[in-house]
Amino acid sequence: MLRRAWNRLHAKVKAKHLDLWLAGYAQARVNQALAPEPRQTRHLMFALCDHYEPQWKSPAKHVADARVQAWAQGYPKLAHAFRDADGHHPRHSFFFPAEEYVPQHLDALGDLARAQLGEVELHLHHDGDTAQSLQSKIADGLQLYAQHGHLSRSHGKLNYAFIHGNWCLANARADGRWCGVDNELQVLFETGCYADFTFPAAPDESQSRVVNQIYWPTGDLARRRAFDEGTQASVGQWHDDRLLIIEGPLALTTRDRWRPLPRIETGNLTAHDPPTPWRIKTWVSQNIHVQGRPEWVFVKVHTHGAQEAQAGCLLGAPAQALHRTLTTQYNDGDRWKLHYVTAREMYNIAAAAMQGHSGDPNAYRNFIMAPPPIAAV
């Protein structure tokens, strides 16, 4: 009987790929338990990063267009009802797939960027690539986005944040599907990527062994799954030869305090798993921060917002409840101050912390990477 129970447990662990990340998660929880409680006001950086795919399941043109229009019309109505400690409305990061380029879709998202409601970054699904072919795909996509005024620029170069399609960063899958490029982290950095926002990917096998951190990948960055080793971002530490990895929350928790069945929390917002106060508390309690600046807490959640079901959640009552919780429970001005940030702004604030800055993180939204031209004030 014990052998059968062990075999069932082992099968569940393997099916959810817990063996990849459970040790990293346990270490993160120990570190959180040992960390002193900040005595000053805590600042919550909240970013919603959207794998925004209007052409999901290859629909007819009018369906894809309607998905974009739902956001162009619905998001301002939602966002204008809420403000953070700095007076900003919620700010959405649209990680748009380069392989789904449609000029009108990027123009519509440009209207939201111009209204300071979001920014466009790079998402890419690819398979069977080499470093050279991947570099070409990225360069072509960046140029197309730049024509619409999207993306940050520095020293004459386009810069971007990245989320990998199908989670498979740095050729993470054992079967080699959905990537093909072992040294993808190097290719991304060389083409202007400053930060990757792919993780968490659990329960997918692409999940990193590093959990609940902002970190610099270390070791040989040309190797497959180079993200599996890293050094936590810390005050006084900076690397100008690699990209930063900014993870969202990953936790073993329960559905809520009244339903104790275990679940894996990945910060994925869906119609079937909408944001709740319990989930928000779980995200915040992972205490993702730059070491040495514990009062600045980073929460990056994700979704596939172009899909109709998720759009209904993120533009409707569940999203209103999310922002009511954020703007009340995490924005009292004493214990907490809330800062709605884009992916770019989250990176900038983390960079400011690493370079020794403190105080109000609102001052560092544009610390290194400037706003894209379309969103410049």
> pLDDT of 269-289, one tens digit each?
999 999 999 999 999 999 999
Q: Which residue has the higher pLDDT, 39 or 75?
A: 75
Mean pLDDT of 119-127: 98
Of residues 305, 328, 296, 323, the one with CA closest to residue 89 = 323
What is the pLDDT, as a whole number, of residue 37? Answer: 80
How many residues can be counted in the chain?
377
Q: Which two tokens mark 308?
A: 């109709």
Instruction: Flag whether pLDDT at 12 surpasses 70.
Output: no
| Alpha carbon of residue 45 to chain centroid | 12
Both tokens of 313, joined, read 């959640």
d(CA 234, CA 166): 30
Q: What is the mean pLDDT of residues 14-18?
A: 78
Q: What is the pLDDT of residues 55-94, one digit of tens each?
A: 999 999 999 999 999 999 999 999 999 999 999 999 999 9
Helix (H, G, I), strand (E, B) or coil at 66: helix
- Give me the pLDDT at residue 4, please: 53
Task: Flag whether pLDDT at 2 surpasses 60.
Answer: no
Which among 219, 228, 211, 217 has a CA at the least distance from the CA of 188?
217
Question: What's the rounded mean pLDDT across residues 192-200?
Answer: 98
pLDDT band for position 259 (cuts 50, 70, 90):
confident
pTM: 0.95
| β-bridge partners, 216 | 231
